[in-house]
Amino acid sequence: MKTIALIGNPNVGKSVLFYRLTGSYATVSNYPGTTVEISRGRANILGKLYTVYDTPGMYSFSPFTEEEKVTRRLLMEQSPDLVIHVADAKNLPRMLPLTIELINAGFAVILVLNMIDEAEKAGVYIRKNELARRLKIPVLEAAFLRGRGILQLKKAIAKLSSGLVMQKAQPAKEHYLVSKAARCLQGSYPFSKEMMARLCLEEDPEAVKLAKQQETREALDCLAAYVRAAGELPDWEMPLMRYRQAESILAGLYLVRGKKKKDGLLEKATLDPLGGLLITALVIYFGLYLFVGRFGAGVLVALLEEKILGGIVIPAVTGWLEKVLPAGALLDILTGEFGIVTMALRYILGIILPVTGTFFLVFALLEDSGYLPRLAFFADSLMRRIGLNGRAVIPLALGFGCGTMGVLVTRTLESRRERLLASFLLAAAIPCSAQLGLIMALLAGEPIYLLFWALVVAVVFFLAGKLLDCLLPGSRTPYFMELPPLRLPGLYALLKKTFARMYWYLKEVMPVFTLIAVLLWLLQQAKLLQVLIFFLQKAAASLGLPPETAGVFLYGFFRRDYGAAGLWELHRTGAVSGSRLLVASVVLTLFLPCSAQLAVMVRERGIIAALTIAACTALIAYTAGFLLNLLLRLPVF
């Protein structure tokens, strides 16, 4: 099967095209860095099957973030038969250098001028036929979000791949040092020798490693001479040459008519510190507090958990199971104290899903409007104080949805140090949506406690960040980010994304919850649960918490959302209230990252870093709870 890779700058619409071609949904948003992993799908294009890869955005063949490296690695390792370069039509002058790089690397390329509708509205006109003639590759116009240009693209793909080998365009002229260095290389590479030579001249670690495996001593010596010569050149010489090439190819073909439109008021307000603060306050109050906290975690949970599940579904299912199954282990696991039906199902569908669902909807709105990069912009000065830059706001904000997603998206940060810092903060002081929603609902009765909770978590966030910033060697990288235009999100896209995420979430948590039910039952049978509970009760008592909370912390070991659901239930039965509820909320928020997040942390940061982070967060949670308990016992409270 032939393979197609969708390549392009961040935020140009690759994931939309991926969905249009394969029918599988990859998250689409309006900010650079939505896609951090490769998605693979199968497409039937005019009767022929293809493997299609959706990739994180990349600016050039010389990557500087982890996500860009992911994409270049795909190009290196999979050597796709065809590359579709998706470009934002109105910004073509800035995108064309990548097209040239792709052609020069030896790929068969189709250039797609996406969002042509936005370009037309802005008065941009591109003479695409002449551009195709000059580049010697197919150039198409499209607006994938509106479904425009899909058929033409499919036809172009079919036509290009009808031959045995996809035809390739003539590469553009390279810098003379690159051409000379390319002649040293003898091995076989995934990219053209010119591209490999260029990457070696840039001392790209992956390219150098590959060359060392492939080449003889003499060839490497030959190359080394040119690497030294290239080191003498100013760093901008080669990239600038590529820009000039792109400019001369585009000369006379990219026309802007009419006067440029001034920025709207909203556009200005989102970049102004005061306006930004106001908008953020509105988002937190209406979006988070009212919609997620009061509506999702309040009204919806009451309806689903108490009325529908607790009142009708669960008694019915339990009754039926008790009739058809013999008494014993299986029935116990299904309907016992920690049973799959009695507890897991009720927690997931009744308590957690309404909260995460409403959160995902609000978050989708923020993502698609283009608000997040603006938030990142004006939080930059704040993030600077803890050794991060504004970019880190995006993974941290995603962490409010689910810590696992947040840790994955730290790939968009540039240095190892920043990725570690952000992972730590995600584990320690960013509550996930289920925690956030339920805690807001729990403490809503006493707003002063809610404020207190937010304050404690914020203080821990900054103290932990500050401390880590001092401890870790190195310093922050300067902040750069493209600000995408503000767009009015479409309702259909919002709902689709929300449901896709809810589905993903369910798929993620269902097996874990089943496992927890079985594990707890086994522990209970072995009388180990009682021992564990005994120690947790001791710990809880030292925080001034009642013994019932021990179970909540036990769930919290497995899943954050499970712990929050447990706390919610305890509150309903009246076991915890007032200041104890506050202490329990704080400890649970700062508590260990859940098992899924821990697993992703091990994968992305390594096992040592992950376990250290986990141990630190447990310590922080306990200390904060202990101090808070002491403070609340002072006579002034």
Partner 1 sequence: MPALLNLLQMPVGKTGKIVELATENRTILKKLLALGIVPGLYVTLLRNYPGIVIQTGFTTVALDRTAAVFILVCPEA
Site residues (CB under 8 A) for partner 1? 59-60, 62, 64, 90-91, 93-94, 97, 122, 124, 235-236, 239-240, 243, 263, 271, 273, 373, 376-378, 380-381, 384, 389-390, 414, 477-483, 485
- Write 625-632 long-range contacts (CB < 8 A, 24+): 625/543, 625/583, 625/586, 625/587, 625/590, 626/542, 626/543, 628/456, 628/582, 628/583, 628/586, 629/543, 629/544, 629/583, 632/544, 632/579, 632/582, 632/583
Angle, vertex CA 529, rays to CA 549 and CA 598, nearest 5:
70
Task: Report helix angle 607-632 to 416-429, nearest 10.
Answer: 40
Of the pair 229, 241, the CB lying nearest partner 1 is at 241
Of the pair 166, 383, the CB lying nearest partner 1 is at 383
Of the pair 373, 431, the CB lying nearest partner 1 is at 373
CB atoms within 10 A of CB 407: 28
Of the pair 263, 337, the CB lying nearest partner 1 is at 263
User: Least distance in Å: CB of 244 to partner 1?
Assistant: 8
Integer-rounded Cα radius of gyration of the chain: 28
Query: Are the C-beta atoms of residues 340 and 511 closer than 8 Å to each other?
Result: no
User: Least distance in Å: CB of 397 to partner 1?
Assistant: 16
Angle, vertex CA 103, rays to CA 130 and CA 86, nearest 5:
70
User: Least distance in Å: CB of 96 to partner 1?
Assistant: 10
* Rounded-to-10 torsion of CA 293, 296, 299, 302: -110
Of the pair 238, 314, the CB lying nearest partner 1 is at 238
Of the pair 239, 578, the CB lying nearest partner 1 is at 239
H or E stretch covering 491: helix 491-525
- Strands 109-114, 139-141: pairing is parallel
Tokens of 91: 């910004």
φ, ψ at 148 (rounded to 5°)? -85, 135
User: Least distance in Å: CB of 381 to partner 1?
Assistant: 5
Region for residue 544 given its phi and psi (left: phi exceeds 0; alpha: psi -120 to 50; beta: otherwise): left
H or E stretch covering 62: none
Of the pair 372, 545, the CB lying nearest partner 1 is at 372
Of the pair 231, 447, the CB lying nearest partner 1 is at 231
Query: Are the C-beta atoms of residues 632 and 583 closer than 8 Å to each other?
Result: yes
Beta-carbon contacts of residue 197 (< 8 Å; ≥ 6 apart): 178, 179, 181, 182, 184, 185, 223, 226
Of the pair 74, 481, the CB lying nearest partner 1 is at 481
Beta-carbon contacts of residue 188 (< 8 Å; ≥ 6 apart): 214
User: Least distance in Å: CB of 102 to partner 1?
Assistant: 15
Of the pair 80, 97, the CB lying nearest partner 1 is at 97
User: Least distance in Å: CB of 31 to partner 1?
Assistant: 12
Map residue 248 onto helix, strand or coil. helix
User: Least distance in Å: CB of 484 to partner 1?
Assistant: 8
User: Least distance in Å: CB of 570 to partner 1?
Assistant: 43
User: Least distance in Å: CB of 229 to partner 1?
Assistant: 17
User: Least distance in Å: CB of 305 to partner 1?
Assistant: 43
